[in-house]
Amino acid sequence: MTKTIMLANPRGFCAGVDRAIAIVERALALYGAPIYVRHEVVHNRFVVEKLREQGAVFIEDLQDVPHGATLIYSAHGVPLSVRQQAEALGLTVFDATCPLVTKVHVEVKRMHQAAMSIVMIGHKGHPEVEGTMGQVDSGMFLVETVADVATLQVPDPTALSYVSQTTLSVDETRDIITALKQRFPLITSPKKDDICYATQNRQDAVKALSDACDIVIVVGSPNSSNSNRLREVAALRGVDAYMVDNASLLQAAWFDGKQQVGVTAGASAPEVLVQAVIAQIKAFGADSVSELPGVEEHIIFALPPGLRDK
């Protein structure tokens, strides 16, 4: 029985991840090691280890950063308290927060200034959620599921709005928003959908891939929210779906009896890992590779001032 590998399109790095990695690499080139990065700059083990080898030091607590050193915020964003602490420590700061996450931060501040309570749809403990909820000192409420909406208590249902973590499942978020609107009919939506273009495109691509395949492999690290959502999207369409950090985690038994093998990658997973996965699946018996058509992405986010080429 022959096996064919089908590649999702688009897959892998998005503009926000490209920018975040470039910020760390450019800072290392201009200022030399060590460059301190608050949290993993993007959620991919391979990328983080490669930057660590170049001299990046990943920390969670700013107390671990020497006075006057150079600090980079991860693509997930940070609470205002972290920015204030960095200023007090006299750090040189470059912000690698994805501009689409920054957009949500701006929405939160606008809603707060309008005296609204704000519901955050997201996953507790995720750095993007902590950063977004940390843009204001009060009046934010986290919901993770439709069930959470049923027990949510807010001060004034007539002065309520919501925002979303950018890397969630589009379908899951839609269900939560529907539940919010049913329970709080006057809730205000953000000016634009918070789910980022790359998340939307990759989820649409994995749906098309799932319809054409009987197994889907998602390349991504365990702590990558958008990679986890891709695996869930495929699984919910009735396809065997697995997420792997690298090719060594693939198991030959997964592919027994499978003819159409789909491969995609989360927005923080580099193409080199995808190619290694393809090579391993070929070793399991796949004899051809094709790429599905999909949305072409042309978005580029500029580097911060101070890191741009002269």
Give the catalytic positions in this structure: 128
- How far, in Å, CA of 194 to CA of 245, rounded? 27
Q: What's the rounded Cα separation, in Å, for the pair 44 and 38? A: 15
Sequence-distant (6+) residues with CB within 8 A of 281 are 3, 5, 217, 250, 255, 261, 263
Structure tokens at 310: 């002269």
**Nearest Cα to Cα of residue 40 among 26, 28, 50:** 50
